[in-house]
Amino acid sequence: MRSAGRDPYVIATRSLSGDAEHGGLLFRINCAGCHGIAGQGLVGPSLNGLESRLNDPQIIQQVVSGQTPPMPRFEIEPQDMADLLAHLKTFTTPE
């Protein structure tokens, strides 16, 4: 299996700087229904402290692969993925 870190989409996404504010907009539209407006968890798990569990390639794969239903597969441009990633990193561990 190909390493996620070498996937061209992952590489493209990581080469861009993310805009967490725009990522927040994308999150509220696409993700908040399942993960909660503040990533606190709802139908889907809490995303707080996500960075301590998953690295960037793993987070990107989770969003675009559709390997864990019922979470759908998102087809988004690398720039939007970079923005989303920047927003996800604002969900820090509540401690």
Q: Which of 62, 79, 89, 90 binds ligand HEC (CB under 6 A)?
A: 62
CA–CA distance from 52 to each of 5, 18, 66 (Å)? 17, 19, 22
Q: Which of 4, 9, 16, 44 binds ligand HEC (CB under 6 A)?
A: 44
> Does 43 help bind ligand HEC (rule: CB under 6 A)?
yes
Using CA atoms, how far apart are residues 8 and 32, in angstroms rounded to an integer?
Answer: 27
Contacting residues for 69 by C-beta, under 8 A, at least 6 apart: none
Task: Determine how many CB atoms are found less than 10 A away from the CB of residue 46.
Answer: 16
HSE (side-chain half, CA atoms, 13 Å) at 26: 22
Stretch that binds ligand HEC, among 1-9, 14-22, 58-66 (CB under 6 A): 58-66
Write down the least CB distance from residue 74 to ligand HEC, Å. Answer: 5
Scan residues 21-40 and list those touching ligand HEC (CB under 6 A).
30-31, 33-35
Which residues would be at the binding site for ligand HEC (CB under 6 A)? 30-31, 33-35, 43-45, 47, 50, 53-54, 59, 62-63, 68, 70-72, 74, 84, 88
